[in-house]
A and B are shown apart, each in its own frame.
Chain A
Amino acid sequence: MLTKELSRSITFFSALFLGALLWGNIVVLYVALVPLLFTIMGLMINTPSSIIVERKEMGYTVWKDEIITMRVEVSIRGGLGLVTVADRLPPYFELIEGNNFHVFWKGIRDVSASFSYKVRCTKRGLHTFDGLQWRSRHLLGLQEPIVGEEEDPPEVLVKTKIMNIRRIRGIRGIASSPFPIVDIARMGVSTTDFREIREYMPGDPIRNINWKATARYNAGYTVKPLVNEYEAEGKKAVWIFLDGSSEMEIGSTIENVFEYAVEVAEGVAYYFLEKNYRVGMYIYNKEGNQLLYPDTGMRQFYKISRELNKIETTSRKEDLKDAVEKCRGYLLSYNPLCVVIPEFSEERKESLRKGIKSIIKLIGRRRKKPPIMLVNIPPYYLSSGDGQYREKALKLIKMRERPLVKTFESMGISILRWNPRKESFATALLRGVKR
């Protein structure tokens, strides 16, 4: 293919040459040699074609908001011209320091250079780099540029940072939070830890009957055997409900409510799984696998983490009530503590209220306080701008939200409001528990 510059040179020569022929003009005929010779000599200079571009020191797994250093080595041999090397970043990768686009001038000597830059991974998930691309240009643009690409662009798994929640105090008496650390499982294999003596119920093993206590208790004619009850193995179960609807994505593409909600879900899962709780999760308004069976241990955490890392919002309309219905069996069996991370808005109030009611119906109230925590990440905290107007607007929005909060507080639900810009979730959670 003729490039624009080459066709221009040929046209220039042809115009002079044909003009010279037409007029029989020797001067113009000689002068026409200049563009011709210039073009021929230009074409004799080759475009740099022996280019090796390699990526160095690349980690596969990084944490969200972690700054990673990318290093690229470039080697150019032969030819004369300009070589541009670009490392095309995936979306949500922010350039922090340096430059991912470089220009190299290939003169007579071979070029061997390297460049590095720093990027921040701002969104969780599996990101594929578009790969290194280099473009070698002819000195005068007389030849088509040579374009090369990295054959196997790397993939980077960006994991959500696990929140460093060190300790939530066990509070005696009625827990103000639905997460008392000493809660134990309702179901499971019995341990040797004695809990209480109670009346015999059909199905209780005979060896559990406390004969001495039965004798003391049954002084009259009716005999009601008493049995020893032991603590079940393991701790309570925790169930996370996460809303995966696109309405959760309020804010920028990098910083939005949904991203923080994912962070909360992962943080909560890590905290309880580390303490041997059984954690299950249901992501409503999500495509594909929505339910993660309750289980214990770090393997369960990695399962949850993997699921959360690849989650994308959808425009599906599934209510919390429907989600609760789908998890009905688990909620009834495990009677878990529920952490609900919903879209907390006036429009979704009724749907959320119905969902919470159905949870209460299934797991019941404990001393009038249902073990449910609603995590509220108000989007107005993520708004940009500065100054007194923003502050006042925030106050107004907060006041507007108050009746909504009251509705759920009157149901006995504990609401945890988290401002991601001001504090970490761990701090917010501790604050909620201590209150």
Chain B
Amino acid sequence: MSFGNILVKLFQLVLVISMALVALYVLSISFFGTNIFATDEYFITIGEIFKRPIPLIFLYFSLIAPLIATGGYAILTGSKKMMKLFGSALGVFFMPSLLAHSKFNWLLFLDKSLGLSAVLPFEDILAMTLFIVSGYIFLLYSLQLGKLKQKLLNQGSVEEDVSNYLGEGVLLALIFGSIIITVLLTYSVNYFWSMMAVYAGGIPFNLWVVGIGFGMLIFVALYFFIATFRSAKPEK
């Protein structure tokens, strides 16, 4: 394994651990109402489920260890299945905090509420979700690049040729680009909204969401249609 590959693997591992820690933090805030990393308590009581206090360290490891193990295994073996499992687990950890920021609470049909201990501020949850989603995209694509490299090596390519491949660098650049544009859009929308409030303040939020959503869907569908059916022919 070349030095570059080792660096990539290390970066992926660090990313997996960071993502797991962030997910655990979000979960702890929404369920226990406390930052699991900053609490002075050594024991924690979970409502009516467990009557006796549970050692914090036990809870910490029981949640974080399988998550890191799944992500680490996916990276080391290149298993996409495990990576998807890791992604799903992250989604589950994030779900309560994200739902707390929803406009429509479908649980109300069942006469239930989320009943969270604490709700993370909008900026915090946005930043952390951005980190998780972009990190997951990076992991998924770098896994695919790793597989491609292995396939090329199996086909008889030279290690030196393959190690020249700098796909991960471009991948990172694309992801950072996407994050920056997303953040810019997020904050510019507020300004746009305040400017438009004079004219469109009367339109309910639901209609805005549905209108923008469907408009965007049509735009995206058109874009992919054009982009994918554009055929490139090799020059001779």
User: Which residues in A have some Cβ–Cβ distance to B below 8 Å?
Assistant: 1-2, 5-6, 8, 10, 12-13, 16-17, 20-31, 33-38, 40-43, 45-47, 49-52, 80, 82, 84, 86, 99-105, 107, 134, 136-137, 139-141, 143, 146-148, 151
Contact residues of B between 107 and 130, Cβ < 8 Å to A: 122, 125-126, 129-130
Q: Is the CB of B137 within 8 A of A27?
A: no
Contact present for B130 and A24 (CB under 8 Å)? no
Q: Contact between A140 and B162 (Cβ–Cβ < 8 Å)? A: no
- Nearest-Cβ distance from residue A397 to partner chain B, whole angstroms: 38
Interface of B toward A, CB cutoff 8 Å: 98-99, 101-104, 106, 122, 125-126, 129-130, 133-134, 137, 140-141, 144, 148, 152, 155-158, 161-162, 164-167, 170-171, 174-175, 177-179, 181-182, 185-186, 205-206, 209-210, 213, 216-217, 220, 223-224, 227-228, 232-236
Considering the chains assembled together, what is the distance between the CA atoms of A82 and B137 in angstroms?
20
For A28, give the chain B residue with the smallest CB separation: B98
Q: Which residue, of A13, A43, A47, A136, has the highest number of chain B Cβ atoms within 10 A?
A: A43
B161 CB contact (under 8 Å) in A13, A102, A147: A102
Cross-chain contact A30 with B213 (CB below 8 angstroms): no
Pair A38/B167 contact, Cβ less than 8 Å? no
Other-chain residue from B152, B177, B210, B217 in contact with A103 (beta carbon distance below 8 A): B152
Q: Whole-angstrom distance between the alpha carbons of A33 and B182 in the complex?
A: 6
Q: Is the CB of B178 within 8 A of A38?
A: yes
A33 and B185 in contact (CB under 8 A), knowing A25-B102, A41-B174? yes
Interface centre among A51, A80, A86, A105 (most CB of B within 10 A): A105
14 interchain pairs, CB-CB under 8 A = A21-B213, A24-B206, A31-B126, A31-B133, A34-B133, A35-B137, A41-B174, A43-B224, A51-B234, A99-B156, A104-B161, A139-B171, A143-B228, A146-B232
Residue pair A27, B220 in contact (C-beta under 8 Å): no
- Given the complex, which residues of B lie within 8 Å of A141, measured CB to CB? 144, 148
CA distance A6 to B228 in the complex (A): 9
- Quick check: A24 and B102 within 8 Å, CB to CB? yes
Given A101-B155, A148-B234, A27:B177 Cβ within 8 A:
no
Chain B positions within 8 Å of A102 at CB level = 157-158, 161
Is there an interface contact between A30 and B104, defined as CB atoms closer than 8 Å?
no
Contacts of B177 in A (CB 8 A): 37-38, 41
From B122, B144, B174, B235, give the contact of A49 (CB < 8 A). Answer: B235
Q: Determine the residue in chain A with the shortest Cβ distance to B151.
A: A84
- Give Cα A218–Cα B74 distance, bound, in whole angstroms: 112
Residues from chain B with Cβ under 8 Å of A52 in the complex: 235-236
> What is the bound-complex CA distance between A104 and B157, given in angstroms?
10
Once the chains bind, are A37 and B181 in contact (CB under 8 Å)?
yes
Taking A17-B213, A148-B236 as contacts, is the C-beta distance between A84 and B157 under 8 angstroms? yes
Q: How far is the CB of B130 from chain A (nearest CB, A)?
A: 6
Instruction: Specify which of B103, B178, B232 is in contact with A41 (CB 8 Å cutoff).
Output: B178
Give CA–CA (A339, B149) in the complex, Å: 56
In the complex, are the beta carbons of B164 and A105 less than 8 A apart? yes
9 A-B pairs with the lowest CB-CB distances in the bound complex, closest first: A24-B103, A148-B234, A23-B102, A37-B178, A103-B161, A24-B104, A38-B178, A33-B182, A49-B232
A10 in complex: contacting residue of B133, B161, B185, B224, CB < 8 Å: B224
The answer to whether B106 touches A23 (Cβ under 8 A) is: yes
- Chain B residues with Cβ below 8 Å from A30 are 126, 130, 182, 185-186
Known contacts A34-B134, A82-B148; A22 and B104 CB within 8 A of each other: yes
- CB pair B220–A103 under 8 Å, yes or no, is no
- A236–B152 alpha-carbon span in the complex (Å): 61
Within the assembled complex, what's the spacing in Å between the Cα atoms of A107 and B167?
9
Q: A140–B223 Cα gap in the complex (Å)?
A: 18
Output the least CB separation between A1 and chain B (Å). 7
- Bound-complex Cα distance A105 to B224 (A): 26
List of A residues within 8 angstroms of B148 by Cβ: 82, 137, 141
Give bound CA distance, A143 to B224, whole Å.
Answer: 11
On whether the beta carbons of B174 and A105 are closer than 8 Å, the reply is no
CB contact under 8 A between A43 and B232, given known A23-B102, A34-B137: no
A contact residues around B166 at 8 Å (CB):
105, 107
Q: A38 contacts B174, CB within 8 Å? A: yes
Inter-chain contact A38/B137, CB cutoff 8 Å: yes
Interface centre among A31, A82, A102, A139 (most CB of B within 10 A): A31
Is B129's CB under 8 angstroms from A24's CB? no
Q: Which of A12, A134, A139 contacts B170 (CB 8 A)?
A: A139
Report yes or no: B101 in contact with A26, Cβ–Cβ below 8 A.
yes
Residues from chain B with a CB closer than 8 A to the CB of A104 are 161
Q: Is the CB of B98 within 8 A of A27?
A: yes
Contacts of B217 in A (CB 8 A): 17
Assembled-state Cα–Cα distance A35/B175 (Å): 9
Q: Which residues of A contact B206 (CB under 8 A)?
A: 24
Give the residues in chain A near B186, CB-CB below 8 Å. Answer: 30
Across the interface, name the chain B residue whose C-beta is closest to A16. B133
Least CB distance, A45 to chain B, in whole angstroms: 8
A47 near B232 with CB under 8 A, answer yes
Cα-based distance from A52 to B171 in the complex (angstroms) = 27
The minimal Cβ–Cβ distance linking B146 to chain A, given in whole angstroms, is 13
| Closest Cβ neighbor of B106 among chain A residues | A23
Contact flag A84-B130 (CB < 8 Å), given A40-B223, A107-B166: no
